[in-house]
């Protein structure tokens, strides 16, 4: 053996000894790594730290691990709807849906007095309030189901009901209010004796709500004839739902104590309080017009408004804890209301587009049979299946005690984006009938509402690029948060353990990603047989790839990753579609693996896999460190990109499942409201579909006779009578055809109005006033 070989062996042995023996590496190596990490890591502000501490880590942690335990997901049993919750859905919710016509609500600018009275009497505003305080005490799943059904009928009704049951006074009081506050306010909120709103957003603080310029100053003042210690408030708020009719304002503001009446600290932080709207200095009542969707929304202004410290939610003990309270509530709430609304819209689109694709004919053929229409129909059916699965899974997790902050952000952003995709596709199917507003038009209101869902509760752009991966990388990663905490506390031993475990994690994921890619995930063990097992194995491979790509991005970019929003956005896409793919398999599994739903499972999983792979390729193509990107690409994609979006054949199968009133269509849309046949919109279309299905066989016989030249097509007006005389069909079949054709012709008509009516509703007729103050 040469001297050089001996030297190399000794050098390798020395390196291995340093790495393998903790005491040695902590003396010789770890301090330098820790110092480098300290320089690379971004500084974390209080608002970011509080957001990271809010909520829990659930299935998102499994996806970040690269080794998701599918048995844990498939064995998770969500709490089913109780008989009382089911009765509420089948009773008061159905009745409320029957009371509201979105076209009329839009023309009137509000729900009818009868609808408002019904909402109050049936405690719709108290769904999340426990029965002991007079509320309904419903589960998250029931809350979501109510919003889903209502939104399929009326966006205005759904928003009106969901806001008091989402982020607002009731939720905050339940978790943080004093006992006195709970006893006083919760029964009044449950019966809508108090109509709440929550004023968070202002002109200067939208998605960055913590930067609010609304402020309060601790001081003495007079309240209800008594001299008390309180706060003088100055605020400008906008986009506040229910503000025009509120009787109880939940207010977020930054509290200051310049005279140190409460202690040594001057800036006390974000604080939340409950404010009566009748106090001097408060101005409410004006309305915004959110794209014509007629839910009540408007600004609130306050100047020199004095309230006692008892107005703070939770009392003095909760001074300055408002941001923490808000983040904790959003950790669950974002995953319930808007995803429910989006899913309701998607299921409505599936119902409408499937019926319209069967009823509407061109070139002597139902339009749903054309490949050009099959494409949007497949998007509608596939995405609706994915969204429905995710809605139920996430609500079930919340009912199980989770507050999955990252998953809730995924649900809010990606289901409202899914709503945009599905509604746009359905509008393409309906074409002219979709853009002609009136009582017959079922989709226009959903179409108009899409940007609202995308914008509120954290705009989707911000949620995708900053929140999902930005928080997920720290919250859900097995080691990153521990490393950051160790660096901050200068705990060398803790950092050493986490860092070298992290290093081993990366090496393991690199080897597994390479092996899974070469073998096509053939040796991944999921414990599940059949198509579901195959898709879980492929999701495992991409979970491993995602974990490795995430570590590669964090290692090479360090604190800069926070500002590289395009890269973090693509990583968010990958994580989101891993979750949506998981939810798709879970839905198929929980529904009993019905054979008829296999096309929906395949479409949803193929879509998810393709989206994850495309996102990861985008990360690697744009990672600034090209050497690291090359190594990662070799490990993750040694054979190149392998997934494809759903094929034309699969899409055609999904599209056909929505046509002809098949069982799959009914099962896919089981959560929405279906009106009676005399309803001018969906009810009329469903009635026409029923008649078309009944007459389908007779009509096919008639068309076959024409093609075989047994009958002349013209004159078309006498074709049915001539077919009866020729013995092609009997009188009973002829009657079915006539009824179907009459219903078909009625269903495809659009609304028309007197010009004077249109002029009265023309844009620009509302008096406006600038909100600048």
Residues known to be catalytic: 457
Distances (CA, A) of 458 to 17, 294, 372, 461: 50, 21, 35, 8
For residue 48, report the phi and psi dihedrals to the nearest 5 degrees: -65, -40
Classify burial at 628, counting beta carbons within 10 Å of its beta carbon; exposed 0-12, middle 13-18, buried 19 or more. Answer: middle
Per DSSP, the three-state class of 202 is strand
For residue 94, the 8-state DSSP code is H
Distance CA 341, CA 411 (A): 11
Residue written as token pair 């046949």: 677
Burial letters 496-514, b for 16+ CB under 10 A, else e: bbbbbebeebbeebbebbb
Distance CA 218, CA 711 (A): 90
| Other beta carbons within 10 Å of 643 | 16
Spatial neighbors of 494 by CB under 8 A, at least 6 apart, are 482, 485, 486
What SS3 string covers 97-138? HHHCCHHHHHHHCCCCHHHHHHHHHCCHHHCCCCHHHCCCCC
* Backbone Cα Rg of the chain: 30
Distance CA 219, CA 311 (A): 14
> Per the structure block, which two tokens stand in for 485?
């905490």
> Per the structure block, which two tokens stand in for 405?
């902050």
| Other beta carbons within 10 Å of 291 | 11
Closest CA to 619 of 655, 682, 583, 566: 566
Distance CA 381, CA 387 (A): 10
Largest CA distance in the chain: 107
For residue 236, report the phi and psi dihedrals to the nearest 5 degrees: -130, 120
Spatial neighbors of 583 by CB under 8 A, at least 6 apart, are 386, 389, 390, 393, 394
Distances (CA, A) of 220 to 185, 223, 254, 260, 318: 25, 10, 18, 12, 19
Per DSSP, the three-state class of 204 is coil
Taking a C-beta distance cutoff of 8 angstroms, is the pair 441, 431 a contact? no
What DSSP assignment string belongs to 609-620?
Answer: HHHHHHHHHHHH
> Per the structure block, which two tokens stand in for 770?
């600038």
**DSSP run (H or E) holding 683:** helix 682-707
Distance CA 245, CA 285 (A): 7
Taking a C-beta distance cutoff of 8 angstroms, is the pair 195, 214 a contact? no
């Amino acid at each position: 053996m040469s001297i050089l070989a001996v030297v190399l062996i000794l050098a390798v042995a020395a390196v291995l000894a340093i790495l393998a023996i903790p005491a040695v590496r902590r003396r010789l190596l770890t301090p330098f790594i820790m110092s480098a990490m300290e320089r690379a890591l971004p500084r974390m502000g209080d608002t970011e730290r509080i957001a990271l501490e809010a909520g829990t880590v659930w299935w998102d942690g499994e996806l970040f691990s690269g080794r998701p335990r599918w048995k844990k997901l498939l064995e998770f049993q969500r709490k089913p709807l109780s008989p009382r919750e089911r009765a509420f859905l089948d009773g008061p919710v159905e009745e409320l849906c029957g009371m509201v016509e979105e076209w009329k609500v839009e023309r009137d600018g509000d729900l009818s007095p009868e609808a408002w009275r019904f909402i109050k009497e049936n405690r719709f505003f108290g769904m999340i309030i426990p029965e002991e305080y007079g509320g309904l005490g419903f589960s998250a799943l029931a809350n979501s189901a109510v919003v889903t059904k209502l939104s399929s009928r009326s966006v205005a009704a759904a928003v009106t009901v969901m806001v008091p049951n989402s982020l607002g006074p009731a939720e905050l009081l339940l978790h943080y209010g004093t006992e006195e506050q709970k006893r006083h306010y919760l029964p009044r909120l449950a019966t809508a004796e108090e109509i709440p709103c929550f004023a968070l957003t202002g002109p200067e603080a939208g998605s960055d709500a913590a930067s609010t310029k609304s402020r309060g100053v601790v001081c003495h003042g007079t309240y209800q004839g008594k001299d008390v210690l309180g706060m003088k408030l100055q605020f400008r708020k906008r986009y506040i739902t229910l503000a025009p009719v509120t009787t109880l304002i939940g207010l977020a503001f930054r509290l200051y104590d310049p005279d140190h009446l409460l202690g040594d600290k001057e800036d006390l932080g974000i604080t939340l309080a409950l404010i009566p709207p009748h106090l001097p200095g408060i101005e409410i009542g004006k309305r915004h017009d959110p794209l014509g969707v007629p839910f009540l929304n408007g600004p609130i202004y306050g100047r020199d408004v004095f309230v006692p410290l008892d107005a703070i939610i939770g009392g003095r003990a909760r001074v300055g804890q408002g941001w923490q309270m808000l983040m904790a509530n959003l950790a669950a709430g974002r995953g319930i209301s808007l995803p429910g609304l989006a899913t309701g819209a998607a299921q409505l689109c599936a119902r409408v587009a499937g019926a319209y694709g069967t009823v509407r004919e061109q070139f002597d053929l139902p339009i749903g049979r054309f490949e050009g229409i099959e494409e949007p129909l497949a998007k509608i059916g596939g995405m609706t299946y994915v969204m429905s699965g995710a809605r139920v899974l996430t609500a079930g997790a919340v009912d199980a005690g989770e507050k999955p902050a990252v998953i809730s952000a995924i649900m809010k952003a990606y289901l409202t984006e899914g709503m945009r995709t599905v509604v746009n596709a359905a509008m393409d199917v309906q074409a002219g009938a979709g853009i002609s507003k009136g009582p017959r038009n079922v989709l226009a209101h959903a179409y108009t509402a899409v940007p609202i869902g995308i914008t509120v509760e954290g705009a989707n752009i911000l949620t995708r690029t900053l929140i999902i991966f930005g928080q997920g990388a720290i919250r859900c990663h097995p080691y990153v948060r521990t490393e950051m905490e160790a660096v901050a506390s200068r705990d060398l031993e803790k950092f050493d353990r986490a860092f070298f475990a992290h290093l081993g994690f990366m090496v393991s994921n690199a080897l597994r990603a390479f092996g899974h890619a070469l073998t096509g995930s053939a040796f991944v063990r999921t414990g599940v047989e059949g198509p579901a097992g195959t898709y879980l194995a492929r999701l495992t491979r991409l979970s491993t790839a995602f974990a490795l790509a995430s570590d590669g991005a964090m290692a090479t970019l360090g604190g800069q990753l926070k500002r590289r929003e395009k890269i973090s956005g693509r990583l968010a896409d990958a994580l989101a579609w891993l979750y949506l793919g998981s939810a798709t398999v879970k839905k198929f599994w929980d529904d009993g693996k019905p054979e008829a739903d296999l096309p929906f499972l395949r479409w949803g999983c193929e879509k998810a896999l393709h989206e994850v792979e495309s996102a990861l390729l985008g990360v690697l193509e744009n990672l600034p460190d090209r050497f690291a990107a090359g190594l990662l690409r070799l490990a993750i994609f040694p054979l190149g990109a392998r997934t494809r979006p759903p094929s034309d054949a699969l899409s055609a199968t999904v599209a056909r499942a929505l046509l002809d009133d098949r069982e799959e269509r009914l099962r896919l849309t089981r959560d929405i409201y279906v009106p009676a046949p005399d309803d001018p919109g969906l009810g009329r279309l469903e009635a026409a579909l029923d008649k078309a299905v009944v007459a389908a066989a007779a009509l096919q016989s008639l068309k076959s006779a024409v093609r075989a030249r047994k009958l002349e097509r013209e004159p078309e007006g006498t074709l049915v009578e001539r077919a009866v005389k020729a013995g092609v069909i009997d009188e009973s079949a002829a009657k079915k055809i006539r009824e179907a054709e009459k219903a078909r012709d009625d269903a495809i008509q659009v609304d028309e109005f007197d010009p004077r009516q249109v002029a009265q509703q023309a844009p620009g007729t509302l008096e406006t006033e600038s909100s600048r103050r």
